[in-house]
Amino acid sequence: MSGKKRFPEVPIEELPYRPCVGIALFNRDGLVWVGSRSDEQAEGEGEGNWWQMPQGGLEKDEAPYEAALRELYEETSVRHVSLIAEAPGWLTYELPRDLVPTSWGGKYRGQKQKWFALRFEGADAEIDVLSPGGGKFKSEFRSWRWEKLARLPALIVPFKRGVYEEVAAAFGDIAAI
C-alpha cells in the first residue's frame, strides 16, 4: 500500500467528531483575542488569511476546562486568566467532504467543541504566538489582535462560521458593544 491518505473505510456520516475545546479570551475592554492562522498549520483551511480563537483537541481522560487552559498556553503562552463562563453543551461543525481524508488522519468528520469564556488578567506582553510556551510548542498563529466578538464569524473559515455564531451568541453579554 502506498503512503497516500485514503477516504475512510466507513461513510463520512458514520465517523465521530473530534472532541475539542475553544477559548474566547476577553480583555478588560470586552474585546476577544483572535489569531491569524499560519497556513501550514491551518487544518483543512488551505490558503487564506483566516482568523480564529484558540482551540484544540482533548487528550485522553482530560477534563475540558483543563484542556482549555493547556491549549491556551500552548498556542498563546497565556497563563493569567480567570473563568467567566462556559457555553452550554457542545458545538459541532462538519469538515467539507474533500478535507475529511486529509484532516486528522481521516478519522473524524469534524469537531465537537466545548467553549469557555476566560478573562485575560495579564499584560499583552505575555502573549507570544511565534514561540509559544517559550518555544516548547509549534506556532499555530502568525499574528494576533483584540477584536469585537460579533465580528469573528466573518473572519473565520466558512465551514466553522456556524460555531462562531453560536459562541458569539453565548458570550455576547460579556463582549464589548
Grid coordinates standing for 95? 469538515
Mean pLDDT of the chain: 89
Least reliable range by pLDDT among 95-104, 125-134, 157-166: 95-104
- Give alpha helix (H) positions in the chain: 64-76, 152-155, 161-171
Query: What are the structural domains of the chain?
Result: 21-123+136-171 (3.90.79.10)
- Does the reported pTM lie above 0.75? yes
d(C-alpha 83, C-alpha 87), whole Å = 12
pLDDT digits (tens, 9 = 90+) for 120-159: 999 999 999 999 999 999 999 999 999 999 999 999 999 9
Give the count of alpha carbons within 13 A of 143, CB side only.
5
pLDDT digits (tens, 9 = 90+) for 12-31: 888 999 999 999 999 999 99
Specify the amino acid at residue 88.
Answer: P
